[in-house]
Amino acid sequence: MSGGTQLENANPVIFERSGERLQTAADEDEDVHDPIDDREIFDLIRSINDPEHPLSLEELNVVEQVRVKVNDAESNVGVEFTPTIPHCSMATLIGLSIKVKLLRSLPDRFKIDVHITPGTHASEDAVNKQLADKERVAAALENSSLLEVVNQCLSTRSV
Amino acid sequence: MVFFFLFPPQTHCPTLPPGATVSILKSLFQDVHVQSLLLADRACVYKMLINVMDTREAELKGLGADFVFGFVQSMDGERDPRNLLLAFQIAKRIIHRGYSLGKFAEELFEVTSCYFPIDFTPPPNDPHGITREELIQELREVLTGTPKFAEFLLPLIIEKLDSDVQSAKLDSLQTLAACVAWYEHKDLAGFLEGLWASLRREVFQTSSERIESAGLAALTAITSCLSRSVLSSDSEDALSIFLEMVLNDCKHHLCEPDLKLVWPTAKLLQAACSASNRASHIIVAAVMPSLIEQYNSKNQCSHRRTLLEVMQRFVQSVKSSESSENEELVLSAVCPSLCSVTFAALSETNGSLQVTAMSVLISLARQAGLLSNSQIELAVDHLARLVLSDEDDTISLAVISCAGGLAELHPTVFITNMIPRIKKVIFSESIQQDGDSAQHTQPAVRQRCLSVLAAVSIKPSVAQESTPVLLEVLGAAHSGELGFSSEEAVLACSSLKTIAERVEDTEDSGRCFHDVIVPRLLSLALQAALKGEISSAHHSPLTQEAVLSTMVGVISTACSRLQPTLAGQTAVRFVSLFLDGDVSFLPGNSFPSQIKLLANHGDSWRQSQMVCLLMGCVCSLPRTAAVPQMERLLSELEEMSCTCSHVMSYTSAAKCFAGLLNKIPAGDFLDSRLQKTMTRILSELNSADSSVRMQAFTLMIWVAKALLLRYHPTCAALTDKLFSLLDDADLGPVAADGFSLLMSDSADVLSRACHADVRIMYRQRFFSENSAKLVQGFNAAPQEKKPNYLKALSNIVNKLPKQVQVTELPALLSLLLEALTYPDQGVQLSTLSCLEPVIADPPPALIQQLEALVVRLLPLTSAPNMNVKIASLRCIHALSRFPEHEVLPFRARVLRALARPLDDKKRLVRREAVQARGEWFLLGSPGGR
């Protein structure tokens, strides 16, 4: 961390990563239909990189499996995320990264709702509103510098 | 400059009069301004200097410090990396060969150290091949070469450690570790505080593992330098002063309640601790008591585990002194309390705490002479309790490895304590009759017991106690007592195999297998086979294929490790049993006198399949051991493999035949034997209505493999036959699969472990001799037979080493691409699996075929079979790493096609689709790739 700029939360608490999902015999059985479940959605977003730390959202406890709700039959997904500090200016960016990751990884039929865990951020409503607005999300992704940061969050880290 | 062109020949001239060199050099240094010369001429000067240094060392040394000064002046300002390498070599010679530096030490340091840290990236297509690492290495050898540089180098390192550039930090840390190896305390004394402050900062703050480990290595080097320094009576002990400073800065982090900085702190202290015995004493005395106290005062499991892990690392890092006659061991003072903490943790209910405690235990046991006998007894008690009671997989794995480690160090305790207890549990009936739950746990406990028995038997003395228990299990399974299942029989056999592999190779252990275990196994198997023919009441599990094939593993491993005399005896015994029915060496002798194991039994497959045990023995013996009655043995095996109708029996006979054939020395005997067999095989195969074509084919494949491995010329005839069989109506698909057998290693016969004659690179050879035939055959074959060829091809290519695949691929690419369009799943799957590694590192030929590849891969992502979908998605994922301009045109098409597998009904398919699609999204997008 040699950058000259001061980090907002320079010394965050780090949480343990959960292991890989255990494979069951049903997973390998051709005839069984595996529904998309909470854990699967969580696995999609837990490895997203944090914009300012070399850590994943899971390690910072920004996303948790209990805050992921999915209904495969009705095709909707709800994700709540928790910024590490209430004034985190990265909250919108983190929300956008989660949203983009889900948009890229889920079938079209899903309605995706990403918002801040209630009561954990100073400007919760404003951020939620931005994330829910399809056109603003689309416009944000037209902005190449913003897209660059989002892509960096979504690229698999090569250590 | 004419003067200058004369130099190279002169320097090579051995007849230069004494003194001439010196005067030439003097005038060179005086009159030539080297840095205003051209690149090549400067190189010439350096080369000349190296040359005269090698040939006229004495004369140059006569020049004294002037030579050094002259050199410093001529290299000052050099900028070309090629010349720098030369200049560094001169500087190295000056330092290492004892030239007098005089008052120019600082000048020499300045003129070289201005390049530190090296920042150089070779230009693309660099013809000179100079790498950054090379320059770093050369410069480091100059800078660290002499303690005279210490007063200049150490401040420089401290300064560069403040740099923001990661590579500069890394280089500085590595240079520091290298230089203190030559320094003494007095060289370091003034800089210790500064160095420590920088090192501490790097380890605490860095995000890079390489910098952290380099920093720790530097700290270890400094500490060991200080430990080396000789104490004089009036000075203070440098080591303890330094460590006191370290401890003062660090120790409080170990005691903070949230344990946030505990890991970096512990790593620093452990790095210092591992430097020397004395450092270990000081650090352990300062740190361990407080860690133990803290452990006892914490309640949270995660904190306790962290502390325990820290303690384990400390124990591991302790350096024991070499001459430890009556010296006190580093850990002996804290050992009792450490043991009680460990044992307490073992009794906790938290799994991860128990696992950590076991690693502490192993580390303690590795400190020679530390643990007392009673402590080890107690440890073994705990382990035995965990084996018998705990359900958790991770814990039982940890117990098994811990028990294995301890048993290697303290075998006697395991013989007297662990093994009797385990034996008692395995054979106890009482638990079985308990309630329902107990009946469920029993098999799991038995399984763990069997694995522990295998894990602890590394010393022959332990193996001598544990193997009888395993044999008893097999005996009980055979007679149907105590409800041993066939899985448990398999497990007992694989434990025996593990022991055969791992037990230390001594006279005793070999004799134990030869005298006791192998005869007992044979006897049990034979009893089972005979009993199965008579009664139908209880079928012994020992006639099942799974049990027998693990038993083959035991016999084969044991036989392959036998000493020559024992090996010969074993061969005689096996052959006389199978050919003549000689049962005299088998224990429990109640066998009928007329046993003919290799005769054709009609439907008595239980006896005929015993031939696999014969294979396990005679095919694994060292090549020096002679197998008696070879001619008769081969005839009977051939007869059996061509006539028997039981699959396992005729396959084993064929394998045994092939295994023997592989080891027969080249000569007339082998050739005539082969001729007979070939004639028989071909006549059976060529008569379309023969009932034993499959048998003949099996024998052919195995014989072909045996010959292929040893490069025997007859192999060609057999492979030609195999190719022609690809068109065969019945045997076509089997023949295609046969190629996989030819190219892969087989587990129980014809492997290097069985001392078979395996030439290197036989696969490549086979491939290069036959790939053309395959392509020809494919083109000539009728449409409905083509899949056989494609399958054969992918079977062959799959097993080739990757380098060969890449070079051979262009010729076969069109065939492989065609294979992707065949509806046969097996062909698709094996083609995909051989394409995947090639795509990961694509040859130019593949890039030219990109369009065809993408067009064929995309439909497969919606194939009916999930494995095909997964494999094709992996290939598409790998495609995203092709050169960007090549794949970018396909981006939109791929993204559209991959939307469909995102909604696949199988999760594993979706996971691959998500990964592949994510990478393709990043392609060509800002911040992506």
The answer, yes or no, to whether residue B38 has pLDDT greater than 70, is: yes
- Contacts (Cβ under 8 Å, ≥6 apart) of B702: B654, B655, B657, B658
Tell me, yes or no, whether B751 lies in a domain: no
In angstroms, rounded to a whole number, what is the distance separating the alpha carbons of residues B842 and B847? Answer: 7
Q: How many CB atoms lie within 10 A of CB B544?
A: 15
In this complex, which of B906, B907, B927 lies closest to A151 when CB atoms are compared? B927
pLDDT in tens, B244-266: 888 888 888 887 766 677 888 88
For chain B, what percent of residues have pLDDT higher than 70? Answer: 93
In this complex, which of B902, B906, B925 lies closest to A151 when CB atoms are compared? B925
Q: Which residues pair with A112 in a beta bridge?
A: A77
Pairing mode, strands A68-71 and A76-81: antiparallel
Q: Nearest 10 degrees: CA dihedral of B46, B47, B49, B53?
A: 140
The answer, yes or no, to whether residue B436 has pLDDT greater than 50, is: no
Tell me, yes or no, whether B109 lies in a domain: no
Cβ atoms B574, B614 nearer than 8 A? yes
- From chain A, pick out residues whose CB is under 8 angstroms from the CB of B921: 104, 151, 154
In this complex, which of B908, B917, B929 lies closest to A105 when CB atoms are compared? B917
In this complex, which of A1, A2, A34 lies closest to B905 when CB atoms are compared? A34
In this complex, which of B899, B903, B926 lies closest to A148 when CB atoms are compared? B926
In angstroms, rounded to a whole number, what is the distance separating the alpha carbons of residues B567 and B575? Answer: 12
Write the CATH number for B310.
1.25.10
Q: Please state the rounded mean pLDDT for residues B288-292.
A: 88
* A27 touching B (Cβ < 8 Å): yes
Cβ atoms B558, B513 nearer than 8 A? yes
In angstroms, rounded to a whole number, what is the distance separating the alpha carbons of residues A89 and B128? Answer: 50
Tell me, yes or no, whether B79 lies in a domain: no
Closest CA to B697 of B710, B709, B686, B708: B686
Confidence of residue A77 (pLDDT cuts 50, 70, 90): very high
Q: Check CB contact under 8 Å for B918 and A108.
A: no
Interface of A with B in 73-92 (CB under 8 A): none
Tell me, yes or no, whether B714 lies in a domain: no
In angstroms, rounded to a whole number, what is the distance separating the alpha carbons of residues B20 and B394? Answer: 78
Angle value at C-alpha B317, between B315 and B321, nearest 5 degrees: 95
Interface of B with A in 826-865 (CB under 8 A): 865
pLDDT in tens, B609-668: 888 888 888 888 888 888 888 888 888 888 888 888 888 888 898 899 988 888 888 888
pLDDT in tens, B72-88: 888 888 888 888 889 99
pLDDT in tens, B497-530: 888 888 877 777 788 888 888 888 888 888 888 7
- Which of helix, strand or coil describes residue A69? strand
In angstroms, rounded to a whole number, what is the distance separating the alpha carbons of residues B254 and B239? Answer: 22
- Contacts (Cβ under 8 Å, ≥6 apart) of B54: none
Q: Which residue of A has its CA nearest to B905?
A: A33
Q: What's the Cα-to-Cα distance from B432 to each of B386, B446, B451, B476, B482, rounded to whole Å?
A: 19, 12, 20, 15, 9
The answer, yes or no, to whether residue A158 has pLDDT greater than 60, is: no
Confidence of residue A159 (pLDDT cuts 50, 70, 90): very low
- For residue B468, cis peptide bond before it (omega within 30 degrees of 0): no
Q: Which residue of B has its CA nearest to A143?
A: B926
Closest CA to B739 of B693, B794, B678: B794
* A105 touching B (Cβ < 8 Å): yes
Q: Is B121 exposed, middle or buried (0-12, 13-18, 19+ CB in 10 A)?
A: exposed
The answer, yes or no, to whether residue B533 has pLDDT greater than 70, is: no
Q: What's the Cα-to-Cα distance from B132 to each of B42, B82, B163, rounded to whole Å?
A: 21, 11, 19
pLDDT in tens, A18-43: 777 778 778 888 888 888 889 999 99
Confidence of residue B601 (pLDDT cuts 50, 70, 90): low
Q: What is the ipTM of this complex?
A: 0.91
* A109 touching B (Cβ < 8 Å): yes
Tell me, yes or no, whether B712 lies in a domain: no
In angstroms, rounded to a whole number, what is the distance separating the alpha carbons of residues B901 and B83? Answer: 58
pLDDT in tens, B221-243: 999 888 887 766 666 778 888 88
* A46 touching B (Cβ < 8 Å): no
Q: Check CB contact under 8 Å for A101 and B907.
A: no
The answer, yes or no, to whether residue A152 has pLDDT greater than 60, is: yes
- From chain A, pick out residues whose CB is under 8 angstroms from the CB of B260: 11
Confidence of residue A114 (pLDDT cuts 50, 70, 90): very high
Q: Please state the rounded mean pLDDT for residues B361-379.
A: 84
The answer, yes or no, to whether residue B432 has pLDDT greater than 50, is: no
Cβ atoms A99, B911 nearer than 8 A? no
- Contacts (Cβ under 8 Å, ≥6 apart) of B182: B144, B145, B146, B147
Q: Tokens 């010349």 — which residue?
A: B83
In this complex, which of B866, B903, B907 lies closest to A40 when CB atoms are compared? B907
In angstroms, rounded to a whole number, what is the distance separating the alpha carbons of residues A63 and A84? Answer: 10
The answer, yes or no, to whether residue B151 has pLDDT greater than 50, is: yes
Size of interface A-B (CB pairs under 8 A): 68
- From chain A, pick out residues whose CB is under 8 angstroms from the CB of B865: 30
Cβ atoms B657, B701 nearer than 8 A? no
How many residues in total does chain B contain?
A: 929
The answer, yes or no, to whether residue B438 has pLDDT greater than 60, is: no
Tell me, yes or no, whether B219 lies in a domain: no
Q: Check CB contact under 8 Å for B926 and A154.
A: no
For chain A, the distance separating the N- and C-terminal CA atoms, rounded to the nearest angstrom, is 16
Q: Which residues pair with A79 in a beta bridge?
A: A68, A114
In angstroms, rounded to a whole number, what is the distance separating the alpha carbons of residues A103 and B649? Answer: 58
Tell me, yes or no, whether B631 lies in a domain: no
In angstroms, rounded to a whole number, what is the distance separating the alpha carbons of residues B708 and B662? Answer: 9
The answer, yes or no, to whether residue B818 has pLDDT greater than 60, is: yes
pLDDT in tens, B883-928: 888 889 999 999 999 999 998 888 899 999 999 999 999 888 887 7
- Which of helix, strand or coil describes residue B792? helix
Q: What is the pLDDT of residue A81?
A: 92
Q: Which residue of A has its CA nearest to B912?
A: A105
How many residues in total does chain A contain?
A: 159
- Which of helix, strand or coil describes residue A76? strand
- From chain B, pick out residues whose CB is under 8 angstroms from the CB of A40: 907, 910
Cβ atoms B341, B359 nearer than 8 A? no
Radius of gyration (C-alpha) of chain A in whole angstroms = 16
In angstroms, rounded to a whole number, what is the distance separating the alpha carbons of residues B603 and B361? Answer: 56
Q: Please state the rounded mean pLDDT for residues A3-17.
A: 64
pLDDT in tens, B765-817: 888 888 888 888 888 888 888 888 888 888 888 788 777 777 777 778 888 88
Q: Which residue of B has its CA nearest to A72?
A: B903
- From chain A, pick out residues whose CB is under 8 angstroms from the CB of B392: none
Q: What is the pLDDT of residue B323?
A: 57
Pairing mode, strands A76-81 and A111-116: parallel
Confidence of residue B746 (pLDDT cuts 50, 70, 90): confident
Q: Which of B196-210, B294-308, B437-451 has the lowest mean pLDDT?
A: B437-451
What is the side-by-side strand order in the sheet with A111-116? A68-71, A76-81, A111-116
For chain B, what percent of residues have pLDDT higher than 90? Answer: 6
DSSP assigned state of A155: S
Interface of B with A in 206-245 (CB under 8 A): 207, 209
Dihedrals phi, psi of B425, to nearest 5 degrees: -65, -40
The answer, yes or no, to whether residue B603 has pLDDT greater than 70, is: no
Closest CA to B172 of B199, B191, B149: B199
In angstroms, rounded to a whole number, what is the distance separating the alpha carbons of residues B706 and B699? Answer: 11
Q: Which residue of A has its CA nearest to B927?
A: A148
Q: Please state the rounded mean pLDDT for residues B453-463.
A: 85
* B394 touching A (Cβ < 8 Å): no
In angstroms, rounded to a whole number, what is the distance separating the alpha carbons of residues B39 and B37? Answer: 7
| Residue of A22, A33, A34, A38 to mutate when probing chain B, most B C-beta within 10 A | A34
Confidence of residue B602 (pLDDT cuts 50, 70, 90): low
Domain total for chain B? 2
Q: What is the pLDDT of residue B2?
A: 39
Q: Check CB contact under 8 Å for B914 and A28.
A: no
Helical axes B277-297 vs B238-255, angle rounded to 10°: 20
Question: B278 is in which domain, residue-wise?
Answer: 231-320+332-371
* B257 touching A (Cβ < 8 Å): no
Q: What is the pLDDT of residue B583?
A: 79
The answer, yes or no, to whether residue B535 has pLDDT greater than 90, is: no
Helical axes B518-534 vs B611-618, angle rounded to 10°: 170
Cβ atoms B723, B630 nearer than 8 A? no
The answer, yes or no, to whether residue B430 has pLDDT greater than 60, is: no
The answer, yes or no, to whether residue A5 has pLDDT greater than 80, is: no
Please report the sign of the dihedral spanned by the C-alpha atoms of residue A18, residue A22, residue A28, residue A30: negative
Tell me, yes or no, whether B239 lies in a domain: yes
Closest CA to B107 of B73, B132, B146: B73
Closest CA to B400 of B343, B344, B362: B362
CATH of domain A34-154: 3.30.300.130
In angstroms, rounded to a whole number, what is the distance separating the alpha carbons of residues B142 and B720? Answer: 64
Q: Is B210 exposed, middle or buried (0-12, 13-18, 19+ CB in 10 A)?
A: middle
In angstroms, rounded to a whole number, what is the distance separating the alpha carbons of residues B702 and B746? Answer: 10
In angstroms, rounded to a whole number, what is the distance separating the alpha carbons of residues B36 and B41? Answer: 10
- From chain A, pick out residues whose CB is under 8 angstroms from the CB of B160: none
Amino acid at B145: G
Confidence of residue B418 (pLDDT cuts 50, 70, 90): confident
Q: Which residue of A has its CA nearest to B919?
A: A155
Interface of B with A in 154-193 (CB under 8 A): 164, 166
* B922 touching A (Cβ < 8 Å): yes
DSSP string, B381-449: HHHHHHHHH---HHHHHHHHHHHHHHHHH-HHHIIIIIHHHHHHHHT--GGGGS-HHHHHHHHHHHHHH
Q: Which residue of A has its CA nearest to B897?
A: A107
In this complex, which of B205, B207, B902 lies closest to A105 when CB atoms are compared? B902
- From chain B, pick out residues whose CB is under 8 angstroms from the CB of A154: 918, 921-922
| Residue of A96, A155, A158, A159 to mutate when probing chain B, most B C-beta within 10 A | A155
* B908 touching A (Cβ < 8 Å): yes
Q: Please state the rounded mean pLDDT for residues A82-111.
A: 89
Q: What is the pLDDT of residue B873?
A: 93
Domain residue ranges of chain A, discontinuous segments joined by +: 34-154
Q: Which residue of A has its CA nearest to B161?
A: A2
Q: Please state the rounded mean pLDDT for residues B718-725.
A: 86
- From chain A, pick out residues whose CB is under 8 angstroms from the CB of B903: 107, 109
- Which long-range CB contacts under 8 A does B23-31 form with residues at least 24 apart? B25/B52, B25/B60, B25/B63, B25/B67, B25/B70, B26/B63, B26/B66, B26/B70, B28/B70, B28/B74, B29/B66, B29/B69, B29/B70, B29/B73, B29/B74
Q: What is the 3-state secondary structure (H, E, C) of B97-158?
A: CCCCCHHHHHHHHHHHHCCCCCCCCCCCCCCCCCCHHHHHHHHHHHHCCCHHHHHHHHHHHH
Q: Which residue of A has its CA nearest to B870?
A: A28
Q: Check CB contact under 8 Å for B905 and A33.
A: yes
